[in-house]
Structures are given as structure tokens and as C-alpha cells.
A and B are shown apart, each in its own frame.
Chain A
Amino acid sequence: MSVPEDFSVDEASLAELVAPSDLRSAKASGDRILAELARHKYDSDTIFAIKLALEEALANAIKHGNRNDPSKHIVIRFHIGDEHAAIMVRDEGNGFRPNAIPDPTANTNLERPYGRGIMLMYAYMTKVHFNEAGNEVWMLKENPTRPPAKSKSRSLRR
């Protein structure tokens, strides 16, 4: 699956990481993305949101997608810009149907110790798309504090 059209992200601007399918390697990849967010001066709430959603996507890919098989890999593609952050996580698993996961906020499911990851990704990101197979997720987060466009700031300085 290529970048979802409504993300308005150029495919050529994406960086790619391929990591062994374990939590420690995934964290190292996640830390690279978080460093990019800090470099682009995303605010604390936005970084919190992206970190949470990314960690859920990576944990899903490793545990449910690749079923903790250390011989498998996860692929991460990302573009961190001033306006938005786009992140893709893909595993080598058979995928799943996100709609088939019961609502974890329903009273009957509240005390289940699992099943909140996907819901948190939708809650904290601006857009979330799964591919048809369900082994690849694209997430977009708008930067609510993005700096004004350059042309504007130039004209202000004059």
C-alpha cells in the first residue's frame, strides 16, 4: 500500500527503517522518530500522542502480527514535517480486521486487560488507515502548533 491520498505526503519524502521484530529494536526505531519530532519542535501533547500511537502500532506488529518471531522484521516508513507527521508500520503477519475488535470502552469490556491499542491509535492520531490485509497501518498527526508559512514570516519581517 502506498501513502494514503488524504495524507498529502510525497512518497519520495519518506524515510524507511527495517528493524528486527523485538521490542528493544522497535524502541530504538521509535526513538529516532521521537527525536525528529523534537527537532521539528512539536509540542509535548502532540509528541505524547504520537509516541503512544506509535508504541501501540509497533507492539501490535511484533506481538500479534509477527507473533514474537525474532526471525521476522517490521518496516517503518515516516515523514516528519513542520505541518504533520506521517508514520507507517508493517509486519510480516497475516493481518487482522480492525473493525472486528470489540469496543473496549463498552461497560461489559471495561475490565478486559487487552484490546485498547487500536482504539488509542484512533483516539490520538488525526487519521489512521489499515491496508486491506491488516498488516500495515498508516497514521497521520497534524502539528497543531506548526509555524507560519515561510513566505508569511518573511513579509512580516519587512
Chain B
Amino acid sequence: MEQPSSHLKIRRANGVSVVEFADRKILEELSIQEIGEELRQLVESEAGIKLLLNFKNVDHLSSAALGMLITLNKKIKEHNGKLKLSDINRQIFEVFKITRLNRVFDIHETSQQALAGFQS
């Protein structure tokens, strides 16, 4: 079931909250704070949350977005949950590599692979 949300599309799959971004420009500076807040509320609503962020609709991000993701990752760990990222395009993945954040985040090529990772 999809929950209405201004920036995020959220569905459940095998006990995992799968989050997609509602539009391509979503990780621009302007909307970051609001997205961070929506994700924080989602994490706090479920102890031990398994959260998959699907980046298939994302074609831009900024250092503010990276900061938001780092803060989210810490929050999820505090709540004994797990965060995985998937479907990151080549240009965006390059940003993760340049900043070495590909070592901080659990990144999978596809959402299917990420979902399987939650079950193992």
C-alpha cells in the first residue's frame, strides 16, 4: 500500500519499508530538510526498521543530501534498524565514490538484491 507523502513514495515489501523519491530533482538543496524530516519520522515510527532507499528517480544530489543520508543512517542504527540504498545511477554513484561514502552505506545495484540482503 502506498502512503500519501509530499516527497516520498513508501511501500512495504517483506517487512522492509521501500522508499522512492517522488521526483527527480528531489535531492536538491531546497527540499532536503523536508525530506530528512519525513524520513526521520518514518524511522522513529518503527523500532528496528529495515529501510531501503531506492534512488532510481534521482539524477542529482548535493553535499546537503549526503549529510542528510549520514544523519539518517546514524538514526537508524540508534533504533537498531538497517539502511540499504539501491538503483543509484552512474553519475550519483561517482559522488559516493569521490566522497568515499560508498564505504559508509550498504549500496546494492538493484532493489531486488537489496531486499534479498535484508532477509539473509
Cβ–Cβ contact A55 & B74, under 8 A: no
Contact-residue bracket for chain A: 20 to 34
Q: Which residues of A in the span 20-79 have a Cβ within 8 Å of any Cβ on B?
A: 23-24, 27, 44-45, 48, 51-52, 55-56, 58-59
Interface status of B19 (Cβ within 8 A of chain A): no
Q: Which residues of B contact A (CB under 8 A)?
A: 28-30, 60, 62-64, 66-68, 70-71, 73-74, 91, 95, 98-101, 103-104
Contact of A114 among B30, B63, B98 (CB under 8 A): B63
Contact of B70 among A24, A45, A59, A112 (CB under 8 A): A112
Contact of A23 among B30, B68, B70, B73 (CB under 8 A): B30
Knowing A48-B91, A119-B99, A120-B99 are in contact, say whether A110-B64 is a contact too (CB < 8 A). no
Interface status of A105 (Cβ within 8 A of chain B): yes
Which residues of chain B come closer than 8 Å to A116, judged between CB atoms?
A: 63, 66-67, 99
| B28: min CB distance to chain A, Å | 7
Query: In the complex the two chains form, what is the Cα distance from A112 to B67 in whole Å?
Result: 7
A-B contacts besides A113-B67, A120-B98, 19 pairs, CB < 8 Å: A23-B29, A27-B30, A45-B91, A52-B95, A55-B28, A55-B29, A55-B62, A56-B63, A59-B63, A59-B64, A105-B99, A110-B100, A110-B104, A111-B73, A116-B66, A119-B99, A120-B63, A120-B99, A123-B98
| A22: min CB distance to chain B, Å | 10
**Can you give 21 contacting A-B residue pairs, CB < 8 Å?**
A23-B29, A27-B28, A52-B60, A52-B95, A55-B62, A56-B63, A59-B64, A104-B99, A105-B99, A110-B100, A110-B104, A111-B70, A111-B74, A113-B68, A113-B70, A113-B71, A114-B67, A115-B63, A116-B66, A119-B98, A120-B63
Query: In the complex the two chains form, what is the Cα distance from A106 to B43 in whole Å?
Result: 28
Q: Which residues of A contact B (CB under 8 A)?
A: 23-24, 27, 44-45, 48, 51-52, 55-56, 58-59, 104-105, 110-117, 119-120, 123
Query: In the complex the two chains form, what is the Cα distance from A45 to B91 in whole Å?
Result: 7
Listed from nearest, the 5 A-B pairs whose CB atoms lie closest are A113-B67, A116-B63, A117-B63, A113-B70, A105-B100
